[in-house]
Structure 1
């Protein structure tokens, strides 16, 4: 039984954004054609720097990543893809098939590894497995703004890969700010939505101050808690 044959028909790649990073045009076009048959949305780039740039502005769901790339090697690209709060699935597609090469890829965080020469049907099948896993994980309530990520179900928060040590009240506050990123939240709304019933308007400030300091201690958050005089607070991108 082939790998493709055991993928459930319910798993679809329709609308899935797939970034194909491959410096050999013929291979890139073959992979692109097979994914487009599945109604995936594809983008091809031919070097490592373009891969990093495209992942930032296009925000793919899955990256098909060659390792032997000009301008920036594939392992360096993979490491960069694993820095931000929202990370695509990565399938390495490479002629480097030794165990040490595969181990290096998995240690840097790739989700799958396929060795050239390859069957395009296998790439599609593996991408479907990855897309299915992403959808199951997305059922988890996860919010992000800037480089801050909140996992509501797991009750944890991160700046990039680094966890934030928050009290329950600080967690509720940060979740509220991330959910409403860029919008003003009044003191009254903060009391109603994130603080205990016994809280009062002026009790907001100490909680905000402590939360602000914890965010500042983690470099690269990409956000700032802004005080709007006489109104409330807003989480802004910086």
Structure 2
């Protein structure tokens, strides 16, 4: 019988770490499949269609960064949680810029990993639809999970979409980084709030001159409807 919470793909070359991840995810009702290298992991994503991928950055051969690049280039938006070493900050930020949804840093608690998987899946499900948001040249439909700039679709990752939807639903309200981590990511104890800046930068790049996101110096971010 397939677990009701869906299949999580683990891509990890250290067997003992993969086994620990498998144990804790299975306890929470997830199906688990593990691969030991990036190329096999990419093929498993295509074949198995997991609900999420737990991806080690430091894989032999095809590493986690290139894995993310190829996955997103194929327009596959399966949620990805990176597993990184403490000294891999540059790779971690690059992974987020390439479309990863979250990360955990070694050594990590298996319970923390499970919590991150659950949080990213809640974000993938998205907030309940509250009507289409139209601000400036943007149109965001929470039910269909689509964004259009003028008449052109804009492809966003799960986290990018939820962050934009959160801001557009509350024009004029200013959010600090910790608030956004709590309300969009689903937890408030994130060690590196700069991850919010990475996602804001990604959104601005994708939305171009239609971006309504404004920086409020020393505070955070806001959508200012009147400034569009």
TM-score tier after normalising by the smaller chain length: 0.5 to 0.7
Structure 2 CA distance for aligned equivalents of residues 45 and 130 of structure 1 = 21
User: 1:184 — aligned with what?
Assistant: none
Q: Any idea what the Cα deviations from partners look like across 1:166-218, whole Å, max 9, x if unmatched?
A: xxxxxxxxxxxxxxxxxxxxxxxxxxxxxxxxxxxxxxxxxxxxxxxxxxxxx
Instruction: Tell me which structure has the larger Cα radius of gyration.
Output: 1
Deviation at 1:115, TM superposition (A): 1.0
User: 1:71 — aligned with what?
Assistant: 61
Once the two structures are superposed, the pairs formed by residues 57-68 of structure 1 within 5 Å of their partners are 57-68=47-58
Structure 2 CA distance for aligned equivalents of residues 21 and 151 of structure 1 = 29
User: 2:26 — aligned with what?
Assistant: 36
> Which residue of 105, 110, 113 corresponds with 2:103?
113
TM, length-normalised to structure 2: 0.55
> Which residue of 15, 22, 29 corresponds with 1:25?
15
1:66–1:94 CA contact under 8 A, matched in 2: yes
User: 1:151 — aligned with what?
Assistant: 146
Structure 1 CA distance for aligned equivalents of residues 128 and 68 of structure 2 = 22
Structure 1 CA distance for aligned equivalents of residues 150 and 16 of structure 2 = 46
Structure 2 CA distance for aligned equivalents of residues 110 and 117 of structure 1 = 19
TM, length-normalised to structure 1: 0.53
User: 2:185 — aligned with what?
Assistant: none
Aligned length in residues: 142
1:23–1:70 CA contact under 8 A, matched in 2: yes
Q: CA RMSD in A?
A: 2.8
User: 1:100 — aligned with what?
Assistant: 90
Alpha-carbon spacing, 1:134–1:53, altered in 2? closer, same or farther (3 Å): same
1:83–1:160 CA contact under 8 A, matched in 2: no
Unaligned residue ranges in structure 2 (runs of 5+) = 130-141, 157-228
Alpha-carbon spacing, 1:159–1:128, altered in 2? closer, same or farther (3 Å): closer
